[in-house]
Amino acid sequence: MRRLVLSVLVAVFGFIGQVAAQTGDAILILDASGSMWGQVDGQTKISAARKAVDSILSKWRNTDRLGLMAYGHRTKGDCKDIELVVPVGDFDASKIRSAVRGLYPKGKTPMADSLRAAAGALRSSENRATVILVSDGIETCSPDPCAVAAELKKAGVNFTAHVIGFDVTDPAAKSQLQCIARATGGVYLDASNASGLENALNRAVQAAQGQKVQTQAPAKPQAEPDPLKGKNFRGVARLVAGADPISDSKVGVNWAFHKSNNGEKGEYVNTVHGSPAAEAIEPGDYVVVVSYGYVERQFPLKVEKRKIAQLDVALDAGYVTSDGSVEGAGKVDGVVWEVHKSDGDYVATDYEAVPKFILSAGDYVLTLTKGAAKTKKEFSVAAGDSINVSMTIDVGKLAVSAVYAANGPKVQDGIVIEINRPAKSDIEKPEWVTTDYKEISQFDLPAGRYEIVVSVGYARRVFNADVKSGETTRVNYNVEAGVAHITAPDGATIEIYEAERDINGQRKWIGTHYDGDKSVALNEGKYLVVHVTKSDKRIEREITITAGKRSEVSFR
């Protein structure tokens, strides 16, 4: 079953009479297990949880004392990793918020034992305690949290649980969460995304403070149809042997059946989806290809008449996310993530701001690219891991436009913007970085100095610009150019030279074209336009180009 994303327990106390509220002792319990590096709405779940906690803190009654408990933030795979991070005391929102931001998810989600620990910490108080529990799945350690909730209620602990199912798609998980609410007289609320979580948490706080909130759980448990009826294949996939079964509605596990050809993969038969998976399969020998994300494994399977064929497979894989940021500016967007094996073999690409990769255990290199900026980081993932690879990229934005003259007009058509790294010495050439052709060209570049070559037609000028990480540099260059409109007989050859001769008596050639009606941009100055007739006769016209102006020359 899926790990819990977030488990928040809040003890909020009732009213004396109908006017004054009691002072209550409260504990907020936050799930800091490895699954919190998963993503929702383009952000990590730990980020969504922090925002949700902020939402609760903004609605908290100052008369209620509050502490913070967390689990799964110190060790991996430890169901006893439960800690009272901030002891119960006078309400201090900044202290709680700071402690939550300092949690680094890595372990398991012992929800039932956290319920017991919270009840034990609050047992000294005779006040009525209200618990707000947010989860996206079933308990990952041994006890049943629904049974524990009922046990605490029967033991005389003033205990009401308002439960929020966060992005819960597993019917069994939702049923368990609804059971906790029913067993303690609380309400159940669904939250399908991060904003829905904040809304549901605020409604749960309202319920805890005595306001009427409608539950979304049925009054009695609903009987679920048997999904395995009539199906002789049962499949369960795990990241690693002994781990919780994979239950991922967004990516999903696929089971591709092939006939066995002496133990090798043969003719394709069928594909079954999900984990757990169930299907009616004809008797025979098969090779089953199990795939999940970028992980693929093959397993033999024998299906016999009137028998259940089962596969419980370990994929030896882990989850990897990354919360990339720009130096000096925060989160990244418009990026490309690539994963390669340590030997250079390509594995995967993702374009989300917060990517999630499901990878076989091993050594990898993660590359983060934004425009021309790029950074790499080596990492290792072990079977069963849920890890986050934090990366920071040095990148700023350069926006380039141009005008023909100081007072305009703008260069709109035919513009070419070339970005180079400056030459390191007089005998080297600049290093090309990238080129764009828009009226306003925007480039994502590593911080530093660049050579900017702006061209339109035959006009060309070179500039320099400095780019700072996390900032946008806007430049509008004057190319000091005008337009020459040249007309000649159809099929004519037109050659353009600089008017002034060099020391050797030669004119610099600018360009040649064969149109009878042509407009070309030229830098300000004097030029010689030559019409070469079909009989090779050369007719010359001198033309003066003024920046921002149009000049005419005709050979007709």
Tell me which amino acid residue 523 is. Answer: N
Same domain, 198 and 74: yes
In a domain, 4, yes or no: no
pLDDT confidence of 344, banded at 50, 70, 90?
very high
Number of domains in the chain: 5
In a domain, 368, yes or no: yes
pLDDT confidence of 411, banded at 50, 70, 90?
very high
CATH number for the domain harbouring residue 455? 2.60.40.10
Same domain, 83 and 186: yes
Same domain, 101 and 189: yes
Residue bearing the bigger pLDDT, 181 or 95: 95
d(CA 7, CA 275): 24
| b/e 84-108 (16+ beta carbons within 10 angstroms → b) | ebbebeebbeeebeebbeebebbbb
| Weakest-pLDDT range from 151-165, 201-215, 339-353 | 151-165
**Average pLDDT score over the chain:** 85
Is the pLDDT reported for residue 343 higher than 70?
A: yes
In a domain, 497, yes or no: yes
In a domain, 407, yes or no: yes
Same domain, 247 and 104: no
Query: Which residue range is the domain that position 444 belongs to?
Result: 396-478
Residue ending a domain, choose from 280, 315, 350: 315
Same domain, 38 and 167: yes
Predicted local distance difference test score (pLDDT) of residue 11: 38
pTM summary value: 0.70
In a domain, 219, yes or no: no
Same domain, 438 and 542: no
Is the pLDDT reported for residue 9 higher than 60?
A: no
Same domain, 27 and 145: yes
Residues 280-295: tens digit of each pLDDT: 999 999 999 999 999 9
Predicted local distance difference test score (pLDDT) of residue 145: 84
d(CA 173, CA 179): 10
pLDDT confidence of 226, banded at 50, 70, 90?
low
Same domain, 300 and 334: no
Residues 423-474: tens digit of each pLDDT: 988 889 999 999 999 999 999 999 999 999 999 999 999 999 999 999 999 9
Measured between its terminal Cα atoms, the distance across the chain in Å is: 83
Residues 17-72: tens digit of each pLDDT: 332 344 457 777 787 777 777 677 777 778 887 888 888 888 777 877 777 888 88
Q: Quick one: which of 163, 164, 145 has its CA closest to 153?
A: 145
In a domain, 448, yes or no: yes
Predicted local distance difference test score (pLDDT) of residue 2: 42
Instruction: Work out the angle between the directed axes of helices 194-208 and 45-59 (0-180°, nearest 10).
Output: 30
Predicted local distance difference test score (pLDDT) of residue 199: 87
CATH number for the domain harbouring residue 156? 3.40.50.410
